[in-house]
């Protein structure tokens, strides 16, 4: 009976030591690799609307002149604001 209890204790200690080593390895690997690329499970990048600063998937965003927008309305507002600023400078 004592031998069975000793084996059980040794097994539990080895199991928890292995679990602790695995967690330490996983933390070390995450620290070494640095932050992951932005994206969801399908690999879609997140982009920021130039007008309202909301993040959305690249597939759902509109792109105009190198800027991203969440909707056509925000795109139009931003572009009209830009043309007004250019007209003031001239």
CB 74 within 8 A of CB 49: yes
Give 64's strand partners.
67
Q: Please, which residues have CB within 8 angstroms of residue 56's CB and are 6 or more apart in sequence? A: 46, 47, 49, 70
Assign 70 to helix, strand or coil: coil
User: What average pLDDT score do residues 6-10 get?
Assistant: 95
Whole-prediction pTM value? 0.50
Interacting residues of 57 by C-beta distance below 8 A, sequence separation 6+: 40, 44, 45, 46, 47
- Percent of the chain past pLDDT 70, that is, above it, reads 88
Q: Which of 8-12, 24-28, 34-38, 78-82 is predicted with the least confidence, judged by mean pLDDT?
A: 34-38
Q: Is the pLDDT of residue 21 over 60?
A: yes
How high is the pLDDT of residue 41? 59
């Amino acid at each position: 009976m004592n031998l069975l209890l000793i084996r059980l204790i040794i097994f539990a200690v080895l199991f928890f030591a292995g679990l602790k080593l695995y967690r330490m390895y996983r933390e070390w690997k995450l620290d070494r690799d640095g932050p992951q690329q932005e994206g969801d499970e399908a690999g879609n990048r997140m982009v920021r609307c130039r007008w309202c600063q909301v993040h959305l998937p690249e597939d759902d965003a509109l792109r105009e002149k190198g800027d991203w927008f969440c909707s056509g309305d925000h795109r139009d507002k931003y572009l009209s604001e830009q043309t007004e600023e250019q007209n003031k400078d001239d």
